[in-house]
Chain A
Amino acid sequence: MLIALPAKAELFGLKGYVLKNGMRLAVVPNHKAPIAKHMVWYKVGAADEELGKGGSAHLLEHLMFRGTQKVRGQSFNRILEENGAENNAFTAQDVTVYHEAVDISRLELAMALEADRMRNLSIDENSFETERKIVYQERKQVVENNPLYKFSEELQRVFWQDHPYSRPITGSESEILSLTRKDVKDIYNRYYVPNNAVLVIAGDIEPDAVYRLAEKYYGKIKPVTLPLNKEIFDAKVESQTALRMKLPDIELPRLIKKYHVPGYTEAKDGIYPYIVLSKYLGEGEVSKLYVNLVVKSKIATGVSTDYNFVAIRGGSFSISAIPAKGVSVDDLKSALESAMKQAMSELDAKTLQKYKKQMLSGLMYAKDNPNEAAQVVGMLASAGMSDDEIENYANNIEKVTVADVKKAFNTIINSTQTEAMVEPEGAKK
């Protein structure tokens, strides 16, 4: 039995373009309110940094708000503020993203400002020094104030080994303090170019008009040949690892199993069985592992799965669980392993159909909020998905069979993996 889908089920109703300089544009019309979300996704992040230069992509993200030759000093934020924009930026392993939510009458202003700072950034020594202090404080506040960070960063190192994803996005404390202006300029000059960016605009607009304006503001920026990042091809992770930590100041034990599985870069449309598998095993309160471990056996108080397929240098599949009071992490681990096997033995066509229906029934909501639509489209497009691939999500999920999901499961359990546990210091083993 197939789920009834419209002849052409479109996730967002997006329309894509490529500007003459190679910049990709994705437009998602949404006419509910006279507003737009404008996002520039640069395909460069912490994983592109040279060794020892951790945090330089993130520091550059901060310095992008410190003025260009035309829009000097802090005018960027001032201009956007007076025009009612909500603007911010974030840095991840593979991308650095700048975004503005604006009244529709200010969309062109956001385009002009973002286009200007794609190539004309000026970084003076004073701003650099101050901003380096700020990102140092940011690491202390956002990362180190949370006592669990030692476990999270250690897990990242153990799981990714020599791979660039093993390093924290903020950089380490000593790396931050030793960064130079040249380090951030290098990233800016190499990677902040139109042919390395995805422009996403969602809101009260017509796609062709946006395309014309994108050519007007961004089109005049010349493309630049991109460096090849060797690390992508070299860093293989081949050892199984385990991590066991005891930490002061944490109160809850946690168990995380993490597997190296193909992401979109390698698997292309092979990602969908993993997406379905993740939903089936551990997304939400009717997922198999949740029902088995939390609702029925009560060995855990929480369990969830996550499949990261957008990381361009390697995907991962994670299962996280928290043991119930009085249950050891080791007992939870055994219970989790048998629950996984049991879940797979219970998977038949009818069950699969039920879970797929859950995944597809709420797709309409994706169109509701232009801010969220822009975020998802930007993430998928930056991972290399074509417009059609993004729009055909429902059909691709629909095609997944029981055999596909079982194969994905077998790939996962036989993959290179890390088992990580953390317990409060002083807790009995």
Chain B
Amino acid sequence: MLSLENVGLRYGDAPETLQDVTFDVAPRSFQFLTGPSGAGKTTLLRMITLALRPTRGVVTVLGHEVGKLRKDDIVALRRRMGVVFQDFRLLDHLTLYENVALPLRVQGREETSYRAEVTELLDWVGLGGVRDMRPNVLSGGEKQRAAIARALIARPQLVLADEPTGNVDPTLARRILRLLIEMHKAGAAVLVATHDLGLMDQYEPARRLVLADGRLLVFE
């Protein structure tokens, strides 16, 4: 599913942000990636989402070695991943329905072919009643649930979440975690970057990956 071997990354002449990072993510697994602020969690996630290339080492995503990917392959791989951001990153000029449907729309699918799917998913995350509203009038919890629905709609094999509970209260954080666990149970491999230890304690079966000073430790 995902594999990193002796991966290093540096920006310009600065010291390495990531050093000798090695780990695997198995299909249908759930793991938390944690560490102090500035440890490199977001950088690591950006590398996995193919937004950054490693300066050394080998990254393999969904069976493809990143260094050998062509542009078309990158697009195809991104369509097999779902990404959730701390700041939601919804498009304010689209309705919630359109935001959630976005991954299917950019694949060129007709709206009629996914309407029922998107409606069902919005109901599942509790947003059926606000499907035609725009994100700028919704609460942080609603936005994050919409972002999760968007990450899930294309049935991704790998779900990456970067501090998904960073902007919501503890009650909503638990609800969002439950959604991520549901995604895992539905068959996706899930990697959640967070520095919220309380959140990690709520799901014991998850593996913990701890990133500190650019190095990664794995706790099975």
A binds B: no
